[in-house]
Structure 1
Amino acid sequence: MDSVTPTELSVGKVAKRAGVSVQTVHFYEEKGLIHSARNSGNQRRYHGNVLRRIAVVKSAQRLGISLNEIAEVFAKLPKHKSLSTAQWQQMSLSWRKQLQARIDRLTQLRDQLDTCIGCGCLSIKSCKLRNPGDEAANKGPGAVFLQQ
């Protein structure tokens, strides 16, 4: 039986400690979010830093950040090292901007929703949600939204 150093974890141990399924660990590895090495018995072994990476992935997903966006940021980081404070700050700053833009869009949607409730979309020309600034008029007559 192979010995496991304290910083090397089996996939089952990673899953249990991270609070995810083994399939999720494998999925994250397929997506390039975490990395493993193979031991002499060809079993996956993970460095302890994957626990932090999985925690970041789960937190980011809860905020609505896609796995592709997370992977883009992780691709710029060293694979087998924990995040430094500076790296975390840079990553969180980029996500903060995204989240603020999403909050702004949702706030605008919320504020415009009251005018939409009574319209029944009979006046698509003046609908600020579906057709802001009457953008559909530039696309010609007819049901241009159905053509998309």
Structure 2
Amino acid sequence: MQAAALSKNNTAAPRFSLRSSELPIGVVAEQLGLTLRAIRHYEEMGLIACGRGPKNVRTLGQSARARLAAIADLKSLGLPISEIVDLLGEDGACPDRLKTRLRAQLEALDARRTAIAGYLSGL
């Protein structure tokens, strides 16, 4: 087995390099708490565009990572992926529609909280 070449500061040099803004899919998945399968699915749906690195590894640039983070955030807020597709659009977020949808989500949660509190007070 070959040892990695050492740079001048005695650290192992990478065997390959990506453009500085590109990260491998595994690193991005770990950072965002997503599965590789989910990221590949979002790519297949056309929500994000992945590049390719050495050995055909999917890579994500800064804009794809930001979009993926927005998708993850919206999913964690309870929005289904079908709505997220519509709200984000192809060219980025539709802020007015997104704000309207999130306000409606918040109103529904407030109503649910009120109903739960009322039920609890009757126990």
Q: Measure the CA separation in 2 of the matches of 1:48 and 1:106.
A: 33
Structure 1 runs of 4+ with >6 Å offset: none
Equivalent position of 2:78 in the other structure:
64
Amino acid at match of 1:97: T
Deviation at 1:6, TM superposition (A): 0.8
Deviation at 1:15, TM superposition (A): 1.1
Amino acid at match of 2:41: F
For residue 7 of structure 1, give the secondary structure of its aligned residue in structure 2.
coil
Deviation at 1:36, TM superposition (A): 0.8
For residue 41 of structure 1, give the secondary structure of its aligned residue in structure 2.
helix
User: Is 1:5 the equivalent of 2:19?
Assistant: yes
User: Is 1:52 the equivalent of 2:55?
Assistant: no
Gaps of 5+ in 2: 1-14, 119-123
Equivalent position of 2:36 in the other structure:
22
User: Is 1:98 the equivalent of 2:78?
Assistant: no
TM-score (norm 1): 0.53
Cα deviation code 1:87-137 (max 9, x no counterpart): 5xx42x3122123334445666756xx7xxxxxxxxxxxxxxxxxxxxxxx
The alignment yields a C-alpha RMSD, in angstroms, of 3.1
Aligned-residue identity in percent: 25
Equivalent position of 2:45 in the other structure:
31
Deviation at 1:72, TM superposition (A): 2.1
Deviation at 1:42, TM superposition (A): 2.6
C-alpha distance 98-9 of structure 1, shift in aligned 2 (>3 A): same
Amino acid at match of 2:101: Q
Q: Report the structure number with the largest CA radius of gyration.
A: 1
Deviation at 1:53, TM superposition (A): 1.4
Q: Measure the CA separation in 1 of the matches of 2:53 and 2:109.
A: 48
Residue of structure 1 aligned with 2:88, choices 64, 68, 74: 74
Gaps of 5+ in 1: 79-86, 115-148
Aligned pair count? Answer: 104
C-alpha distance 40-101 of structure 1, shift in aligned 2 (>3 A): closer
TM-score (norm 2): 0.61
Q: Measure the CA separation in 2 of the matches of 1:2 and 1:39.
A: 9
